[in-house]
Amino acid sequence: MNEIVEILKNLDWSPFYISIKTGIAATIVSFFLGIFAAQKIMGATSRLKAVLDGILTLPLVLPPTVAGFFLLLIFSKRRPFGIFLFQTFGIKVVQTWLGCVVAATVIAFPLMYRNARAAFEQVDVNLIYAGRTLGMSEMAIFWKIVVPAAGPGIFSGTILTFARAMGEYGATSMLAGNIPGKTGTISQRIAMVIQDGNYLTAGVWVAIVLVIAFLLVFFMNVIASKKMKQQKKW
Amino acid sequence: MPIVCNIHKKLKNFELNVNLSSNSRRIGILGASGCGKSMTLRSIAGIKIPDDGEIIVDGKTLYHSKEKINQKPQKRNVGYLFQNYALFPNMTVEKNIGIGLRKKEKDKKQVVDAMIKKFQLTGLEKRLPGELSGGQQQRVALARIMAYEPDVILLDEPFSALDMFLKDQLQQEMLEMLADYQGTVILVSHSRDEIYRFSDELLILDQGKTICQGKTKEIFENPQWKTAARLTGCKNLIEAIRIDDHCLEIPGWGMTLKTRKKIPKEINCVGIRAHDFIPIWGQEKENCVRVIKGSMAELPFEKKFFLKSEKNPQEMICWFVQRNFWDIIEEKGLPDYLEIPEEKVLFLQSS
């Protein structure tokens, strides 16, 4: 017990902040991109839908290291796009915190997109038609009617996206590396201390992650059950 | 308020061909479920686009395939009342009514307040649609449409999901609310009662085809077409052979029918409404069909007899009897014959 208190006292909290920051940034980007993609998909023809949906969902089913490999190919400073980013905007992605965000966003984005799309599918199309016959612009219909009606689904999608982005490991370690205080996330710290045989520190981090994860899911359920007036009970 | 709607659209199971042109302010479209009624309304509103044709309201062309005109639903100024009302669940009554208005906040509020008053929604302004009764929801939906001052209001089976009691009440309410509306209203329904109660002019659709169009009362009195007769609720439709101007044969019932009315040349079918038969006991008379026992269904205010023709037991004859006559039947038993009052026979042709 004393050992754990000792570890907590001397703990380097930077992985915690980096993970949370990465999670928030990736969630914000995924939130808008995911909703945007889901909206576009809803308006597409069925064949185009199948193709685009496949591409957008790919990062969810691929091993994260494979996604990391592609990200490295794209953003490496020795490749055209990476060179372009660095020379034109001075943006470095590989081995930076931005790399953490990019990796987490790519991996977590499909969760947001799929949840948003599933939520949109549930929205009564008559609401959209009604909006149109009432003279509302497509923009207004989307943000004032569709998104609120799809609210619970989008909300749970956001939480899942955050959880996934915060815990991302494979693609992050390849793209951003594990630089303590800069790109060292909780997941990477756990892997690192385990490699050093430091099981107790790893255990402390695992406990922290468990608490965060549980709180997120609990929070999600509480809000969702508030929104749904009649809870279904089997 | 003339409206012209000639459209053609290929659907999954059939082709929709609607030819409607009317100056009436209250138009009904009657047809069985899935005959293309809703698709017609959706095309007028611009929610669905027909393959070709034209839609003109009050001289404004909303859609014209040859001239490549297809106005957006936002620009058509057509009010659409959905069966489930499609009220926005996340908005209060007030917001629902005001959402489509492109006006300054102050003017908007004025319109919304006026609508709330007119549709007796005072006190419910801050409620969400989920917290309203069916009748209140209908009023909000209509208020929302009226606030927008549409040229045409389309009613898409607004009563078919309601229970009997509420239906009657809401139909009357709807008629009253629409009474002072100057524009055209088109009601689509599969219920002949609704259509009869509501419309001056009637279009009958069957499997996407326009069967006939005319004054509602005239069509109910003389449907002319077999499908039209069926949709207006005629239960007995049977093949007939015209012999001369005043006589025809009904082989299925093994009888000839003599009429004072002149029989049109092109008929091949007659219709007799289930309430119109006169029961005869004992001696056979003219224009009678001999019936034998079939089955019976008892409803609170009428009995439905499904009798069989003696000549041809496959031919069912529906005879509905109002409560006042139950005693006589109780006493005398089932009649031996049903007399067909010749003045009430519908002369029909199958299309």
The residue of chain B with its CA nearest to that of A137 is B74
Query: What's the per-residue H, E or C state across A56-100?
Result: HHHHHHCCHHHHHHHHHHHHCCCCHHHHHHHHHHCCCCCCCHHHH
Q: Among A153, A136, A154, which residue's Cα sits nearest to residue A145?
A: A136
CA distance B196 to chain A (A): 27
The pLDDT value recorded for residue A110 is 92
The pLDDT value recorded for residue A168 is 87
Q: Is residue A200 domain-resident?
A: yes
Cβ-defined contact of A131 to B89 (cutoff 8 Å): no
Q: What is the CATH number of the domain that holds A96?
A: 1.10.3720.10
Q: What is the pLDDT of residues B308-338, one digit of tens each?
A: 888 888 888 889 988 888 888 888 888 888 8
CA distance B100 to chain A (A): 5
CA pair distance A65, A62, nearest whole angstrom: 8
Dihedral-angle region of residue B299 (phi above 0 means left; psi in -120 to 50 means alpha; beta otherwise): beta
Cβ-defined contact of B90 to A131 (cutoff 8 Å): no
User: Is the pLDDT confidence value at B248 over 90?
Assistant: no
Chain B CB contacts of A127 under 8 Å are 86, 88-89
Query: How many whole angstroms from its chain centre is CA B80?
Result: 17
The pLDDT value recorded for residue A114 is 92
Chain B CB contacts of A131 under 8 Å are 88, 99-100
User: Is the pLDDT confidence value at A229 over 70?
Assistant: no
Cβ-defined contact of B86 to A149 (cutoff 8 Å): no
Chain A CB contacts of B46 under 8 Å are 132-133
User: Is the pLDDT confidence value at A10 over 80?
Assistant: no
The pLDDT value recorded for residue A230 is 55
Higher pLDDT: B180 or B306? It is B306
User: Is the pLDDT confidence value at A232 over 70?
Assistant: no
Of B84, B90, B144, the CB nearest to A134: B144
CA distance A48 to chain B (A): 21
Q: Are B191 and B160 in contact (CB under 8 A)?
A: yes
- ipTM confidence score: 0.80
Q: Is residue A35 domain-resident?
A: yes
Cβ-defined contact of A133 to B90 (cutoff 8 Å): no
The residue of chain B with its CA nearest to that of A130 is B86
Q: Is residue A191 domain-resident?
A: yes
Q: Which domain holds residue A104?
A: 2-229
The pLDDT value recorded for residue B38 is 85
Q: Are B136 and B120 in contact (CB under 8 A)?
A: no
Averaged pLDDT score across all residues of chain A: 85
The residue of chain B with its CA nearest to that of A138 is B74
Buried b (16+ CB within 10 A) or exposed e, B162-177: beeebbeebbebbeeb
Cβ-defined contact of B47 to A132 (cutoff 8 Å): yes
Q: Are B338 and B288 in contact (CB under 8 A)?
A: yes
Cβ-defined contact of A129 to B42 (cutoff 8 Å): yes
Cβ-defined contact of B102 to A135 (cutoff 8 Å): yes
CA distance A67 to chain B (A): 39
Q: Is residue A102 domain-resident?
A: yes
Chain B CB contacts of A148 under 8 Å are 90
CA distance A219 to chain B (A): 22
- Angle between the A2-9 and A199-227 helix axes, to the nearest 10 degrees? 80
Cβ-defined contact of B46 to A133 (cutoff 8 Å): yes
Interface test with B, best of A122, A127, A132, A133 (most B CBs within 10 A): A133
Split at pLDDT 50, 70, 90, the class of A27 is: very high
CA pair distance B106, A232, nearest whole angstrom: 43
Cβ-defined contact of B86 to A130 (cutoff 8 Å): yes
Domain count within chain A = 1
CA pair distance A129, B82, nearest whole angstrom: 9
The pLDDT value recorded for residue A28 is 92
What CA dihedral angle connects B38, B41, B45 and B46, to 10 degrees?
60
Q: Is residue A186 domain-resident?
A: yes
Q: Give the residue-averaged pLDDT of B77-105.
A: 86
Q: Is residue A234 domain-resident?
A: no
User: Is the pLDDT confidence value at A228 over 80?
Assistant: no
The pLDDT value recorded for residue A210 is 92
Q: Are A135 and B53 in contact (CB under 8 A)?
A: no
User: Is the pLDDT confidence value at B351 over 70?
Assistant: no
Query: What's the per-residue H, E or C state across chain B?
Result: CCEEEEEEEECCCCEEEEEEEECCCEEEEECCCCCCHHHHHHHHHCCCCCCEEEEEECCEEEEECCCCEECCHHHHCEEEECCCCCCCCCCCHHHHHHCCCCCCHHHHHHHHHHHHHHCCCCCCCCCCHHHCCHHHHHHHHHHHHHHCCCCEEEEECCCCCCCHHHHHHHHHHHHHHHCCCCCEEEEEECCHHHHHHHCCEEEEEECCEEEEEEEHHHHHHCCCEHHHHHHCCCCEEEECEEEECCEEEEHHHCEEEECCCCCCCCCCEEEECCCCCEEECCCCCCCEEEEEEEEEEECCCEEEEEEEECCCCCCEEEEEEEHHHHHHHHHHCCCCEEECCHHHCEEEECC
Cβ-defined contact of B99 to A129 (cutoff 8 Å): no
Q: What is the pTM of this model?
A: 0.78
CA pair distance A6, A3, nearest whole angstrom: 5
Cβ-defined contact of A130 to B88 (cutoff 8 Å): yes
Of B42, B77, B86, the CB nearest to A124: B86
Q: Among B12, B79, B13, which residue's Cα sits nearest to residue B47?
A: B79
Q: Is residue A37 domain-resident?
A: yes
CA pair distance A105, B192, nearest whole angstrom: 58
Interface test with B, best of A127, A129, A132, A134 (most B CBs within 10 A): A134
Q: Is residue A162 domain-resident?
A: yes
- Residues in chain B whose Cβ is within 8 Å of chain A: 42, 45-47, 72-80, 82, 84, 86, 88-91, 99-100, 102, 130, 144-145, 148
CA pair distance A162, A27, nearest whole angstrom: 5
Tokens 């959402």 found at = B99
Cβ-defined contact of B99 to A136 (cutoff 8 Å): yes
